Copies of this chain bind each other. A is one copy, B any other.
Amino acid sequence: METILQGTAEIRFTHPDAFREWVREHKRREMVEKLMTEGEAVSRCVADGDYIAYDFSSLTRGPQALVREIIRQRRRDLWICAEFTLHESALLVGGGCASRIDVGFLGYGNYIGRAVSDGRVRVFDWTNGALASRMLAGARGVPFMPVRTLLGTDTLRHSGARVVHDPFTGDPVCLVPALNPDVFLVHVHQADVFGNARIFGTNLFALEAATAARKVILAAEEIVDPLEFRKDPARTTIPYFLVDAVVHLPFGAYPGGVQARYELDLEHIDKVNAIQSEEQMQAYLAEFIYGVQDHADFLNRKVGWHRLQDLARRATIREGYH
């Protein structure tokens, strides 16, 4: 397969056989309880140097509490998949956790842009669609996915994609390598203790990434009876055997919202987005992340019951989320 053009990015690539062997040895087919605290989950599943991906957006159903826990545990040298990310990337860089970013969408704000310019974090440019396709390849156990995007651009030249001649048409086609993250973080509406999970609304690549990842940490607004899943199997987004840790984290997407549960807290989001200097960043981390014990402590001391109830009260659109 002659490569016509090859992007220059370093890629985190796992041979499909190596991934399969990891699954065989580490993923439990047994239905065992996986309920634990976010502290345990991150401590067990996230190691320095890991490649981390997450679903959905910073503002809706993002795994914010898990991201904060990773920062609190001061993981280092993470490589993150920045898809639909806004402030998570900034916080992970600010906390000194992330050193490399695969970019779909890097996130707004001067802080993250400056960190790139200063060389404090290395970026590799892809696209949202290319990263979703890479995740699909990872989930199907194949080494790559063909796409008809990236072609002709600098994005391609700076990505880790390759262009080859498609043998069926003879035309050039772009191949993006499979992505098998070390860790996938996902915040869901409902889960059972085994890891079966439901997401309401849309998602980026929840099932793809859960299937493709070595370790999956599930944060759930609500823990429900396992029988619920068997009674409505069409609603299951992620089956239990893909999942390594289940954490019950109500308001875990805060300051983002979760559909039909609570609205986003724009005031707090503005506070994060306003971070420009290193000093502001460290002050934010000190107050809201290092300065609290865990998610419950954060909600209790830094957000408060009244605010949480207000955000929940504003989530009046329920249609379709069941």
Contacts and interface: CB of A to CB of B under 8 A. Distances in A.
Given A162-B167, A167-B164, A234 B200 contact: yes
B233 A320 contact: yes
Contacts of A2: 1-2
Nearest to A319: B231
A3 B167 contact: yes
A13 B167 CA distance: 12
A212 B178 CA distance: 23
A141 interface: yes
Contacts of A201: 234
A12 to B, nearest CB: 12
Contact of A1 (B142, B166, B177, B231): B166
B234 A143 contact: no
Contacts of A235: 234
The complex is assembled from copies of this chain, and their number is 2
Interface stretch (A52-60, A66-74, A116-124, A168-176): A168-176
Interface stretch (A144-152, A216-224, A265-273, A299-307): A144-152
A165 interface: yes
Contact of A15 (B3, B137, B169, B177): B169
A167 B171 CA distance: 17
Interface string A96-140: 000000000000000000000000000000000000000001000
A178 B201 CA distance: 30
Contacts of A162: 167-168
A232 interface: yes
Nearest to A141: B148
Contacts of A3: 167
A16 interface: yes
Given A167-B175, A200-B234, A148 B1 contact: no
A221 to B, nearest CB: 17
A129 to B, nearest CB: 10
A110 B257 CA distance: 60
A275 to B, nearest CB: 36
Nearest to A3: B167
Contacts of A234: 200-201, 235, 320
Given A142-B147, A164-B167, A232-B319, 20 more contacts: A1-B1, A1-B164, A1-B165, A1-B166, A1-B167, A2-B2, A3-B167, A15-B169, A16-B148, A141-B148, A142-B146, A143-B168, A143-B169, A144-B167, A144-B168, A146-B146, A162-B168, A200-B234, A232-B320, A234-B235
